[in-house]
Amino acid sequence: MPSINASKVIWFNGQLVPWEQATVHVMTHALHYGSSVFEGIRAYATPRGPALFRIQPHIRRLFDSARIYRMELPFTAEQLTEACGMVVRENGLSDAYLRPLVWRGYGVLGVMPIDAPVEVMVAAVTWGAYLGAEGLERGVDVQVSSWNRVASNTLPAMSKAGGNYLSSQLIVMEAVRNGYVEGIALDVNGQLSEGSGENLFIIRDGVIYTPPATAALLPGITRDAVMTIARHLGYEVREQALPREVLYLADEIFFTGTAAEVTPVRSVDRLTIGSGTRGPITTHIQRTFFGLFDGSTEDRWSWLTHV
């Protein structure tokens, strides 16, 4: 049974089309060779109606991801920003997860992609807490993955490309098979990298640490938001290379991501972190983050765009 909450319409190469008609041919280049880039964006329900969270950096990252693979989008950033607002409005959603996708379409069979057309779509669906509503409150159990993240100069981690998620799939399938919710991967040098779809934060003695962009991770927009919030709240945030064992010595750990939002980690490899539930600094940051949407946190960084 599909678990996607189908909505009514999808923005597909510039037109709104019914959900069922937003289809591609089986000989689409991206299906064979992973040649796609995408975004995940949330629209939150606010007292003034639905608002997109940090739409500009998401659209910018989509263009950056495409540029690395020399994909020329047949639409402008303004057109795609408008499409994002449109799919929330036209589907009558009060909150949503948006999925803009750019892919090499039907046209060539060989690996060389340049002659395949570049296609674009934006879908919006309702999607709850990615690692579970209970996970947001109580924290999730995770393992260190036996799979490393991609090595530098193999697949570019800074491009949010479909193909990179083969690595993510190996990490999360292994974790779930072993009875965990998620896996944390190391980079090929054995340093901490990220979860299969989330960035990683570690707290010890009141200082917040996160691995650097050189650790084979996707520099998350929620990661950036959380670093900004944490510094604003007066915490020290250090972006630095971190060995695996800091996980086991942490007072608190949490994940960030558009899908995962701010999700505490309560155990790693069956070792309890802190008191085994959401810690005080994680709670403070999480409350401030979600407060942006109910208005209890002032949107001083202009991160919300009302649709």
Ligand X SMILES: Cc1ncc(COP(=O)(O)O)c(C=O)c1O
Say whether residue 191 binds ligand X (CB under 6 A): no
Q: Residue 65 or 258: which CB sits closer to ligand X?
A: 258
Which of 91, 168, 191, 288 is close enough to bind ligand X by CB under 6 A?
Answer: 168
Please state whether beta strands 9-12 and 15-18 pair in parallel, antiparallel, or not at all (unpaired): antiparallel
Q: Does 100 help bind ligand X (rule: CB under 6 A)? A: no
Q: 61, 74, 256: which is closest to 161 by C-alpha?
A: 61
120 binds ligand X (CB under 6 A): no
Verify binding: residue 186, ligand X, rule CB under 6 A.
no
**Length of the chain in residues, anyone?**
307
Judged by phi (left if over 0) then psi (alpha if -120 to 50, else beta), residue 254 lies in beta
Taking CB under 6 A as the rule, does residue 199 contact ligand X?
yes
Q: Nearest-CB residue to ligand X?
A: 220
Among 221, 227, 230, 262, binds ligand X (CB under 6 A): 221
Catalytic residue (choose from 29, 54, 99, 160): 160
Q: What is the largest CA-CA distance in the chain?
A: 56
Q: Which is nearer to ligand X, 9 or 293 (CB)?
A: 293
Site map 239..278 versus ligand X, x via CB under 6 A: -----------------xxx--------------------
Cα separations in angstroms, 262 against 202, 225, 229: 12, 11, 12
Amino acid in the structure at residue 112: M
Report yes or no: 169 and 196 within 8 Å, Cβ to Cβ: yes
215 scored as a contact of ligand X (CB under 6 A): no
Residue 149 CB, shortest distance to ligand X, in Å, is 9
8 catalytic residue (yes or no): no
Q: How far apart are CA 142 and CA 178, in angstroms?
A: 10
Nearer to ligand X, 108 or 188 (CB): 188
Query: 231 vs 270, which CB is nearer to ligand X?
Result: 231
Strand, helix or coil at 196? coil
Q: How far apart are CA 234 and CA 230, in angstroms?
A: 6
Residue 222 lies near ligand X (rule: CB under 6 A): yes
- The phi, psi pair for 64, rounded to 5°, reads -65, -45
List the interface residues with ligand X, window 38-77 (CB under 6 A).
40
Instruction: Tell me how far apart the alpha carbons of residues 183 and 197 are, in angstroms, rounded to a whole number.
Output: 9
Binding residue count for ligand X, defined by CB under 6 A: 15
Summarize as ranges the residues that interact with ligand X (CB under 6 A): 40, 168, 194, 197-199, 217-218, 220-223, 256-258
What is the set of active-site residues? 160
